[in-house]
Structure 1
């Protein structure tokens, strides 16, 4: 079977597949290779396919903070102290991963495989929780070569890093070796760095590297910093090295606030992070997460085998699979495709004294996201546009009047009780 991989659009702002704009709608399923049975994986894939998801972000190795699993699956042989023998691959593990990838690809998903989560690399922030069991630098090339050669026929995206900062030259050498190995073996493969939450700077050696395909950031799960959803999107959008921008880990639905802060993110929170990311520069797509899916949690099992960032317990994966927020993200994809919004340009046209309201547009369409109802003032004349207000909670569409005054425009309060998107078309 031949699969047509993603490639870059001519504008360098979004992806195309089979010559058509492609909206990257991913789910985070970091832990499936170690935690999910084949039957569970099949059920999951069928449900997400129905919802319109088209990318799956998966950790190639064991996720350090996954939930406890019934399966005893390890990617490498074990030493007497329980650490990995990184010189000895467990072929059975990678056989099973290959079968699971094939199941996903046959249903139309693109796998986005994380090669080196930060806990496998020395000196990263994960050192405080997991001091040992690091991959030797001299094993990186052989491991990445094995993965690329084995799975290249599926044409995956390669996420070179997972949740990483870039603390030292020693740590950076791991990611650089992995990136250059991928480029050497599969030059057409799209690559990105999945970086630590709220991080907005990557070392120059990566930013200017021709092998880096797109920018991926995470606005993350800290309740104090949800504004980073749009701030970091803006930051990467305006980089001199132009690439598509993806928020690869906004706040997960029903995950608790990190650092043991009481509270959980709702579907509204996750939806808000998505729309603000997309209209602030991350218009190539968005990633969803459900608290229970990413760690593949099962009721009665332990969560957080390695002490981590202080999240409250997840839901069973079967419950988390059906969180309503995933349908919100599916609806986003529907709107972006219907209105030709993929790769949309952020616009600085909102006169209200808040950055929470976001605006973006292209030559024919104007889009506004309004998280809290208010009168919206714009710095442009929009008399040539016809506007529709979309209630995102109930997915209701309403005709919308706009008052134009000289070179400015005013959209009055809408009639809904939740967040809305207002779309104007010429």
Structure 2
């Protein structure tokens, strides 16, 4: 059974694409309308929720201003152990799937979710399969896909769900060794493990998505929207964990993405024995040494991979939009381990603004309980295995403060004049920006951003305090300015005065919370 033409038309009307300058996103139907990517992480929704629960989740996210939810069709946890809430499996054969034969009844719920999401202004970013079925992932497989089944499933997804964003990778990298956890637990240096290139499987699925979508002709000049969701840099000798580094020659990669992840060296003074399966001595230093994972990006320094992606062009030399597809999850412990602190709403907010000021075209929010739709009372879908098991049911955490503040960030950025000319710029900040970041100071980065033609300039001060600016560089070609303090917690702003350019001036935030300094050109 195919989807109704009206449902496909609704997705076409909401299709997104890169902006003309390649740095941002826009609606395909209106290239002059900005689209700020505000996504929520709901990986296990199709597998673990029923219709009532899914509707509650979707309406909650739409009300907060989210416009994308990311969900997996062939889910990571338990997908081969138990069916969805309606007793259906993604493929014929159930727990022993025939990947050449999608079970169409399973996709009726997927259809329903996508259509409800569309009616609420949400796009479902579809992950066809989690990475473990491609290359073994963190749980050693099972290895299921071949080039042919990757292509055929991609074509099925592209044909049934055209004009949606697609996410390949599924928290794994192109080059992988599924034995790394066991090797680390045995004290081996995993940087010396041989790696296998599984890129041909991803390429096959990308080709299938494109060809499946091409069976529809509702949109002219539309290019299939594909992202690659890398893992963190577990295998330090491989390419960095961005889509462009993993697939440098891919013309199918629409938006570049990274995973700044959940690691913060400052919160991890030692690696417990029970955690050697995750870390161990994989870099050749003692497992009690905080440097045991020096190659991992720090969650508090998401600007580092974002800047790298921002400065990495497509094969044709043009830029891509960039985004952090998996930042640290709110109310979730660093490393997902109980001995370590929780990522708070303050961490989430500061991280979001750090990424935006570094050049990201949006922000991706997440909470550990919600992505896995954790329900400790479920009699059919038990909690996922350690170490990432949540400790709170998903519905309890729908209204965490960081989710509201993510919507506030979207509203602030969308209100900026000259949206498509927003560029990162540290050069007009004369005082210390706290770079390069240390393990302790990554979150202290002071960031600059401005409109390329001098309409406005902004600074994010993560812990308040003073900042000295070169006003001539901040507002080039302008002779005067009006200043505002913008509160990123609630979105309110108050003006504090007028001034002239050029010259330098020091501004001091109202308190030691994070603030946005906004200078708009008066003349």
Q: Assess if the C-alpha contact under 8 Å between 2:487 and 2:515 holds in 1.
A: yes
The answer to whether the aligner puts 1:49 opposite 2:62 as a matched pair is yes
Give yes or no for contact 2:174–2:246 (8 Å, CA) kept in 1: no
Distance 1:218 1:192, change over 3 A: same
Alignment of 1:142 with 2:152, yes or no, is: yes
Distance 1:197 1:369 in 2: 26
More deviation, 89-98/198-207: 198-207
The separation in 2 between residues aligned to 1:393 and 1:304, in whole angstroms, is 33
Q: Which has the larger radius of gyration?
A: 2
Counterpart for residue 230 of structure 1: 303
Distance apart, 1:279 and its partner CA:
0.5
2:384 is equivalent to residue 305 of structure 1 = yes
Residue 266 of structure 1 corresponds to: 344
Residues 117 and 312 of structure 1: CA distance in aligned 2, closer, same or farther (over 3 Å)? closer
Bigger CA drift: 228-237 or 196-205? 196-205
Q: Give the gaps of 5 or more residues in structure 1.
A: none
Q: For the Cα contact (< 8 Å) 2:374–2:390, is it kept in 1?
A: no
Change (3 A) 1:212 1:392: same
Shift of 1:205: 7.6
Higher relative contact order (CA 8 A, sep 6+): 1
1:387 corresponding residue in structure 2:
483
Q: Is the 2:408–2:490 Cα contact (8 Å) retained in structure 1?
A: no
Q: Is the 8 A contact 1:65 1:295 kept in 2?
A: no
Shift of 1:7: 1.9
Are 1:390 and 1:398, in contact at CA under 8 Å, matched by a contact in 2?
A: yes
Deviation at 1:76, TM superposition (A): 1.9
Q: Structure 2: how far apart are the matches of 1:92 and 1:108?
A: 25
CA gap 1:112/1:388 in 2 versus in 1, 3 angstroms: same
Give the equivalent residue in structure 2 for 1:361: 450
Q: Work out the CA distance in 1 between the residues paired with 2:129 and 2:418.
A: 33
Asked if 1:130 is matched to 2:140, the reply is yes
Secondary structure of the residue aligned to 1:376 is strand
Q: For residues 91 and 378 of structure 1, what CA distance do their matches in structure 2 show?
A: 59
Using structure 1 for the length normalisation, give the TM-score.
Answer: 0.89
Q: Partners of 2:501 and 2:415 in 1: how far apart?
A: 30
Match of 1:375 in 2: 466
Mark the CA change 1:98 to 1:353 in structure 2 (over 3 Å): closer, same or farther: closer
CA distance in structure 1 between the partners assigned to 2:446 and 2:245 by the alignment: 32
Distance 1:70 1:100, change over 3 A: closer
Mapped to 1, the partners of 2:335 and 2:407 lie a distance apart of 26
Structure 1 residue 96 corresponds to structure 2 residue 96: no
SS for the counterpart of 2:26 is strand
1:25 aligns to 2:38 (yes or no): yes
User: What residue ranges of structure 2 are gaps of 5+ in the alignment?
Assistant: 1-5, 176-194, 215-222, 234-239, 266-297, 436-444
Picking from 102, 108, 119, the partner of 2:132 is 119
Displacement after TM superposition at 1:380 (Å):
4.0
Q: Residues 204-259 of structure 1, C-alpha deviation per residue, up to 9 Å, x if partnerless?
A: 68333222111111211112312431111111111132100111111111121116
Shift of residue 70, structure 1, vs aligned partner: 7.7
In the alignment, is residue 74 of structure 1 matched against residue 89 of structure 2? Answer: yes
**1:94/1:394 Cα in 2 relative to 1: closer, same or farther (>3 Å)?**
closer
**Distance 1:142-1:292 versus aligned 2 partners, 3 A rule:** same
- CA pair 237-203 structure 1, distance change in 2 beyond 3 A: closer
8 Å contact kept, 1:14–1:244: yes
Post-superposition shift, 1:114? Answer: 0.9
> Matched residue of 1:329: which SS?
helix
Deviation at 1:396, TM superposition (A): 4.1
Which residue number corresponds to residue 151 of structure 1? 161
Q: How far, CA to CA, are the matches of 2:83 and 2:459 in structure 1?
A: 43
Offset of residue 182 of structure 1: 2.0
Residue 325 of structure 2, aligned match among 238, 248, 254: 248
Partner residue of 1:279? 357
- So what's the TM-score if we normalise by structure 2? 0.73
CA contact (8 A) 2:329 2:367 kept: yes
> Which region of structure 1 is more displaced relative to structure 2, 393-402 or 27-36?
393-402
1:402–1:251 Cα change, 3 Å: farther
